[in-house]
Amino acid sequence: MATTFTDNDFFGNGRLAAVTLLFAACLAVPGLAPAKNTGLIFISNEKSSTITVLDSSDKVIREFDTCARPRGMHFSHDRTQFFVGCADDSLIVVYDVETQKIVKRIRGVEEPETFDLHPNGRHLYVSNEEDAGATVFDVESGELLATYETGEEPEGVLFTSDGRLVFVASEAANLVHVIDTVQRKVIKDILVDTRPRRFALTPDEKELWVSAELAGIVNIISLDTLKLIGDIPFLPTGFRKEEVTPVDLLITKDGALAYVALGRANHVAVADAKTRKVLKYILTGKRPWGLALSHDEKKLYVANGLSDDITIIDTESLKVITSIAVGLVPYGILIDDH
């Protein structure tokens, strides 16, 4: 895979120290400390090009227009801002969490779908659906820093906690690309099942889970060998195999449970992450894709793309609490609760 890259270091230790001191000084000034733990919940609505905002009691408090076809979202490193990928405008909009005012726009990001932020808080790795590539942007300057070739229709992007590796899923090529951010190159292409979409890492980072949408399963990759070591099939009662289309997935912080949104099967699967056995299927709205857990992991939020709502699940009882109407074709969910 061909790669172009600028200096991965971005700025020297002297400048980093200066920035750190400046930030600390700002926090010391009354009224300048950034907002924390607002309890707000943000849902990107792909078709209506809006963002729905819920408060900490799960009530809709506003919905505002954003750029065209908002999809993936991610918090900044300090969680005072959040990024929204705008596929039809080829840019990423950065909002202030507390006020939802636009802070900046990162332009020239071709067809962004999903992305992940390097642990250093500066490098945003973005999947570019129409360009068969992953690009790297400096979130402060908006500068394009690198381009990596991928298979067709890249989507999921996920870092290891040390920032050494980043994974990119190619839907059309059925590949997981492994990028070494130190070597600045793709070090491996892992063949997986049909149409890989999203990722989750086990807390010990020994396993990478990959949803294979058209195969109706989750593939499991060993991070030691970067090879497939298992899979989990899904089949809720009353559905045909071809109707089971897993997309988003999450693993709890203790590594005990995994939640998988099953798309056209209109369920979320709950699996034992150790035994890899499905424990329960929970009925949701139509075509659940996006997932988010509250920080205490007591609530699971599910974005239902074809019923234009979100489902909230109590994770202790594994029962639905409520469903809430949002915008058209909800895609991603962010929760600012820590």
DSSP structure string for 122-146: SEEEEEETTTTEEEEEETTT--EEE
Residue showing tokens 């996006």: 290
Q: Taking 90 as the threshold, does the pLDDT of residue 19 lie above it?
A: no
d(CA 67, CA 283): 31
The mean pLDDT value for 171-182 works out to 97
**Hey, what are 13's tokens?**
């230790």
**Residue 58 has what pLDDT?**
98
Average pLDDT, the chain: 91
**Hey, what are 298's tokens?**
């007591």
Q: Please, which residues bridge with residue 147 across strands?
A: 4, 135
pLDDT band at 130 (very low <50, low <70, confident <90, very high): confident
**Residue 12 has what pLDDT?**
37
pLDDT band at 129 (very low <50, low <70, confident <90, very high): confident
SS (H, E, C) 240-286: CHHHCCCCCEEECCCCCEEEEECHHHCEEEEEECCCCEEEEEEECCC
Which H or E run contains 301? Answer: strand 299-304
d(CA 320, CA 267): 11
**Residue 304 has what pLDDT?**
98
Q: Which amino acid is at 329?
A: V
Residue 33 CB neighbours (<10 A): 11
Q: Taking 50 as the threshold, does the pLDDT of residue 20 lie above it?
A: no
pLDDT, tens digit (0-9, with 9 covering 90-100), for 282-332: 999 999 999 999 999 999 999 999 999 999 999 999 999 999 999 999 999
pLDDT band at 9 (very low <50, low <70, confident <90, very high): very low
**Hey, what are 284's tokens?**
């949701």
CB 177 within 8 A of CB 197: no
pLDDT, tens digit (0-9, with 9 covering 90-100), for 94-112: 999 999 999 999 999 999 9
Q: Which amino acid is at 313?
A: I
Residue 247 half-sphere exposure, CB side, CA atoms within 13 Å? Answer: 20
**Residue 10 has what pLDDT?**
38
pLDDT band at 229 (very low <50, low <70, confident <90, very high): very high
Q: In Å, how far from its chain's centre is CA 187?
A: 22
Could you tell me what percent of the chain has a pLDDT over 70?
90
pLDDT band at 5 (very low <50, low <70, confident <90, very high): very low
pLDDT, tens digit (0-9, with 9 covering 90-100), for 29-52: 444 445 578 999 999 999 999 999
pLDDT, tens digit (0-9, with 9 covering 90-100), for 248-259: 999 999 999 999
pTM over 0.75: yes
**Residue 34 has what pLDDT?**
54
d(CA 9, CA 26): 25
In three-state secondary structure terms, 312 is strand
Residue showing tokens 């200066």: 18
